[in-house]
Chains A and B, each alone.
Chain A
Amino acid sequence: AQSVTQPDIHITVSEGASLELRCNYSYGATPYLFWYVQSPGQGLQLLLKYFSGDTLVQGIKGFEAEFKRSQSSFNLRKPSVHWSDAAEYFCAVGSLFTGGGNKLTFGTGTQLKVEL
C-alpha cells in the first residue's frame, strides 16, 4: 500500500530565509508525486507535481521539488520565504483508479510559520 510521511509537523522560518519541507513516500512502482498548499480556512491548491522526466520540478509561487528515487523523497524547497507562504503543506502520492482519475494518498501535513 502506498503511504507518505511528512516528518515535520511544524516548521518556523524567518522571512527571507530558505525553506525545505521533507516528504518520504512508499510506493511499489514509479510514484506520481504532488505538493499542495492549504491557507487557513481554504481548500488545497496544487503547487507542483512530478510524473516523469526531469527530477527537479518547478511550481508556482517560486517553489520547487526534487524527486530522489534512491531516498524515496520528494522534498519541497523555496530559496527565500515570504510571509504569505505561511500555510499548511501536504505531500501526496498518486496511483491510478481503474476507469479514470487518480487516488491521492496524503501525508499528515507540515504547518509553516513565517517570522517577520
Chain B
Amino acid sequence: IAGITQAPTSQILAAGRRMTLRCTQDMRHNAMYWYRQDLGLGLRLIHYSNTAGTTGKGEVPDGYSVSRANTDDFPLTLASAVPSQTSVYFCASSQREFTDTQYFGPGTRLTVL
C-alpha cells in the first residue's frame, strides 16, 4: 500500500541523547515536511524540503536538523534532545504543485526525560 512510513512508532529518550526519526514515502512526492503536534498548539512545521537536495526551516526549527539525500527519505535528527522536544512528530509529503494535498504518516511519539 502506497504511503508514508515513520519509525520508530514511539521512543523514550534520555535528555542529551541524539535521535533520528525516520520517514519514507513511496509516492514519488517532491515535497516533504516534518511537524510536531503538541496539546493545545495544533501542528507546527519544523522543517521542509521542496525537492531532493534542498531543505528549509519552518516555524520551530531550533534543535532539529533534516537532510534530503533522495526523493523517498526525509530523516529528522535531534542532536541533543531536551524535555521540551517531547511531542508527537508527523512526517508528510505532497507533490510539487501548490494545490496538491499533503499526506501524513502515522506519527512518532517521542518522550524526552
Contact = CB atoms under 8 A, between A and B. Distances in A.
Interface of A: 9, 32, 36, 41-46, 49, 51, 90, 94, 96-104, 106-109
Interface of B: 4, 30-31, 33, 40-45, 48, 50-51, 54, 56, 58, 90, 92, 94, 96-107
Query: Main secondary structure on chain B at its contact with chain A?
Result: loop
A32 B98 contact: yes
Given A100-B30, A101-B96, A108-B42, A46 B101 contact: yes
A9 B103 CA distance: 24
Contacts of A42: 106-107
A52 B43 CA distance: 25
A45 B103 CA distance: 7
B48 A101 contact: yes
